[in-house]
Structure 1
């Protein structure tokens, strides 16, 4: 198993090598921005899917909706640049809320971010598979299996370490950026030469249809769906420690690059979709239709499809960087299991990576890898964490003696807008699945408190009064045996070193064998009494436990019972399959007894 682990993950790294795992800006853009950049592959399509419920004429509203989303992106970016400088240790919304709001708010932000990261993996992988299926429809029956395989592949790559995975992921990210920008540029040239021939010619939907409650609700739903383009913007603020020094400055610059690229690609795709009259199709993405319109089904079309598949695949990697970092910080505050704070062989939070993989695969299996079924769950946690983070930053700025009015205004406006988007998303998508996240966030927060209370109770019970001095206690040693052998002899020798009260216990199924065992024991005479327990139902564990129960009732207050389990250790793993596992079962049965100590006496075989 060790050799297999080395093959997939690589050799262990020394703790001091963590400084060499820091990322330059161009690699960090690939790692932390792939989620945000990849959203352009489905954000426009999600807007059009909602507008299609009104009618094709409503597609004209995709442009003002896209502009509103760009304004929101600008405000969120300016806010999070300030968070990056104020909290260089990472943690994003969770840390901001913990320091400047209160613990419950920080836990809500942490729960929302954790759920968002899991959804990011599921949505990104499912969208990547959808892009692949657009080019290769014959793979449609294997949609779920492909998605699960890609999650497992990502897990292995991330377990190999941040720097190594960043090098692998950088090239597909830049291939996607260049190919999409090329498609937009060529598409705009075509529009300039050929003129507009999209649905704008038919005019927008009649005002009577749009300004009713139903029409407004659908417009809000379209806006909320398009806001999925902003998912992943916060990832850089969560992972500032991964940047090279000066980390806050490099992280802020990378965030600016990411937002500029995201805005250009998102608006460009939305504009081309409207100009070319693109409508959503069941088994072909909007980006695929635009690419086919611009380049035909030639080499560049397939480059874009492959690049889109890769970026959506890599978008999930943002979560594999952010989720383990976030859970390690929450675990340090004792709201999650402590093992999430431990770095693995390759200096990454291996347990967090494994946990994210398992949760994402479960989500993909439950929703059968359907992107449109997962999207409604997606934006609630993102914008809730945006709102809490900006609320915390605004409170921090208001406490400062030198108040920057412009900074407060930007963050205050951002808090208001993202708060409204959160409400809109919950209301407009509640019946589509947003209710699941709305329920899941309080459940996760409740789980946080349960874990914290557990750790607090254990700490209280284990707290030692320094005036207390350890006292010597007595112990009665029980050695379960099945016969007389070198293993038993070694166990008795050890037992005599820790106690004078020793007894060997064996379980027999018939009187004849029991008599032979007693006769052989008396002949050997190790100066230890032998107790023979009868088992009419041919079980070994039950009679032993019943005997130990009897001793527990008879023992003194400061006396322990030590069960020494003799066990021979075979040289090859498959040899263990040839022997029973009574020792293991006995230890498992006794480990939860209050005053019973269970110990294994190993005897290593040469053959």
Structure 2
């Protein structure tokens, strides 16, 4: 039944040979991998205004030069990541670049930052999408967290069905959003050009503003730079593209950069010219749409597509997080299970882990986007800085043709990214201080995981292990709780192994039980030695472990192997297990970690 339900929800399993069919063309890849970056125009310009409103609305004209600064940074990042795509065509982005050029720990910093960033991508995108819905329908505002969690679950199921299927569905809302914003920007500019918008709504450019400071302008610039989150996702997901992967990825990245620049610039300009002020329960895009069209079909179309892309922008995290996790797992920094493909050839463990962690964040922050965005942006700009610095080291070391220009491009990207990171820490320390705690903690955890895998590899390597001693014979210990058909079957199996000695062990709690059982055993199986271990404290495990230790010490002297055979009956129905005390399970659990004892379970399946 569970298998049938799984097939209905996720779909039929795909063969490994069908992997090529799951790769993306440029059109679908642009929708899937750019949705995070494109959707950020719905809240990036708003973050600039939120920072400037701390002075007054007269300071809103600064959003124009700040917006231009963000576009300069976008250009530098697009050019930089195009170089990364061609230099590292197998994907991995900032993690691989940093690890190979700066070393293990800078690579870990980049990798951990990106893992956290993709978790925040899902949480921020879904929360922002929920905000867009509650802006249009204020009565839903109190249900923000529940709505956000439902969206995460739906996107998770969609991704578990496979990359191609999710891309086919999600491409339409993304392109509808782009179309809706082009219509909004076009209509807004037309209204401005025809005099439909009063110039008195905004402060003229260059107006002196009392109380403005460089610190506040840098804070607004850093806040607006949150619109650039998701730019690196394409460089991480190169293996998802159809051949030739690097060329298709680079073209998709350029197309994303152009679209993002146009949409961001348009929203910043309209927000300034309309004199839009950020409000707690109504987004800036919602206010621009209402001012342009009123509350008619076009307003709800724009709000609907904005909400959709903000929610579906989470899919960028679902596309990039599993692939980054694969690279980290291959380098033995996170569990190997993240390299396993699911029934639909996606990395299901990464997808499910991302969903669980994102839901926890949404619940923890109660779906408040403003609280999550600073953490989100910091998680992006640290890897930006490290990846650009890593590329600089690569060009200086290798000096390929045209390396000076490449070095300059990455140098500018590294400098601006580093500056933005510092600005975030200086201006939003109260929001981003958790980064200083969880990054070192996560790096330490990944370091310990790596040490564990290295230790296992060393212990399993034949060249470094102790030589295997020859086994001269086998001593079998068989715990019994009574004289039953299960015990009889287990004894038959033990005898078939040709053991040097078979010892049945019975552990009574009362003395009279001990004598009674010994008489019965003598009649039942006189050729098998019985050892009774009286347990006055009613423990079965401890007396048995002590006995096994004693036998094992003697067995080692003659190069004999100790094997413990555990009889177990299996109920016909699973729920019947709760009616039994599971002694065999406890014995296996304790004996499993015994240094050199071999464990064997002899199951007996009940028929009714």
Instruction: Quickly name the TM-score band, shorter chain normalised.
Output: over 0.9
Distance 2:313 2:304 in 1: 14
Superposed CA deviations along residues 518-546 of structure 1, whole A, max 9, x for unmatched, are 33322222622223333444443344334
Contact 1:54 1:205 in 2 (8 A): no
Alpha-carbon offset, residue 224 of structure 1: 0.5
Correspondence for 1:390 among 388, 402, 405: 388
Distance 1:539 1:520 in 2: 22
Superposed CA deviations along residues 467-516 of structure 1, whole A, max 9, x for unmatched, are 94651254432222222222111111111233232122233333454444
Report the counterpart of residue 518 of structure 1 in structure 2. 518
Distance 2:258 2:400 in 1: 33
Report the counterpart of residue 259 of structure 2 in structure 1. 261
Alpha-carbon offset, residue 221 of structure 1: 1.0
Report the counterpart of residue 145 of structure 2 in structure 1. 144
Distance 2:43 2:380 in 1: 16
Report the counterpart of residue 409 of structure 1 in structure 2. 408
Alignment of 1:439-478 (within 5 A): 439-465=437-463, 468=467, 471-478=470-477
Find out whether 1:506 has 2:481 as its counterpart.
no
Alignment length, in residue pairs?
602
Alpha-carbon offset, residue 594 of structure 1: 1.0
Alpha-carbon offset, residue 18 of structure 1: 0.8
Name the CA shift for 1:428/1:171 in 2 (closer, same or farther; >3 Å): same
Contact 2:471 2:561 in 1 (8 A): no
Report the counterpart of residue 249 of structure 2 in structure 1. 251
Distance 2:445 2:346 in 1: 25
Distance 2:200 2:85 in 1: 42
| Other structure's SS at 2:86 match | helix
Contact 2:507 2:534 in 1 (8 A): yes
TM-score normalised by L of structure 2: 0.94
Distance 2:563 2:401 in 1: 67
Distance 1:207 1:259 in 2: 33
Superposed CA deviations along residues 10-32 of structure 1, whole A, max 9, x for unmatched, are 22211111111110111101110
Name the CA shift for 1:161/1:175 in 2 (closer, same or farther; >3 Å): same
Superposed CA deviations along residues 411-457 of structure 1, whole A, max 9, x for unmatched, are 222222112112112221112x2121233223322223222222222
Name the CA shift for 1:137/1:481 in 2 (closer, same or farther; >3 Å): farther
Report the counterpart of residue 116 of structure 1 in structure 2. 117
Report the counterpart of residue 545 of structure 2 in structure 1. 545
Alpha-carbon offset, residue 208 of structure 1: 4.6
Distance 1:479 1:569 in 2: 18
Distance 2:570 2:16 in 1: 34
Name the CA shift for 1:486/1:402 in 2 (closer, same or farther; >3 Å): same
| Bigger mean CA deviation after superposition, 248-257 or 361-370 | 361-370
| Bigger mean CA deviation after superposition, 543-552 or 588-597 | 543-552
Report the counterpart of residue 592 of structure 2 in structure 1. 591
Distance 1:376 1:39 in 2: 13
Contact 1:384 1:422 in 2 (8 A): yes
Distance 1:601 1:347 in 2: 36
Contact 2:471 2:560 in 1 (8 A): no
Contact 2:473 2:500 in 1 (8 A): no
Alpha-carbon offset, residue 326 of structure 1: 0.8
Alignment of 1:171-570 (within 5 A): 171-193=172-194, 194-197=196-199, 199-201=201-203, 206-210=208-212, 215-398=213-396, 399-431=398-430, 433-465=431-463, 468=467, 471-498=470-497, 499-525=499-525, 527-552=527-552, 554-557=554-557, 558-570=559-571
Report the counterpart of residue 10 of structure 2 in structure 1. 9
Distance 2:130 2:243 in 1: 37
Report the counterpart of residue 98 of structure 1 in structure 2. 99
In structure 1, runs of 5+ residues without a counterpart are: none
TM-score normalised by L of structure 1: 0.94
Alpha-carbon offset, residue 552 of structure 1: 4.4
Find out whether 1:167 has 2:165 as its counterpart.
no
Distance 1:567 1:9 in 2: 36
Name the CA shift for 1:604/1:199 in 2 (closer, same or farther; >3 Å): same
| Other structure's SS at 2:202 match | helix
Alpha-carbon offset, residue 365 of structure 1: 2.1
Name the CA shift for 1:5/1:544 in 2 (closer, same or farther; >3 Å): farther
Alpha-carbon offset, residue 389 of structure 1: 1.5
Name the CA shift for 1:181/1:203 in 2 (closer, same or farther; >3 Å): closer
Superposed CA deviations along residues 563-599 of structure 1, whole A, max 9, x for unmatched, are 2111122332223233332211221122111122222
Name the CA shift for 1:600/1:85 in 2 (closer, same or farther; >3 Å): same
| Other structure's SS at 2:602 match | strand
Distance 1:548 1:370 in 2: 58
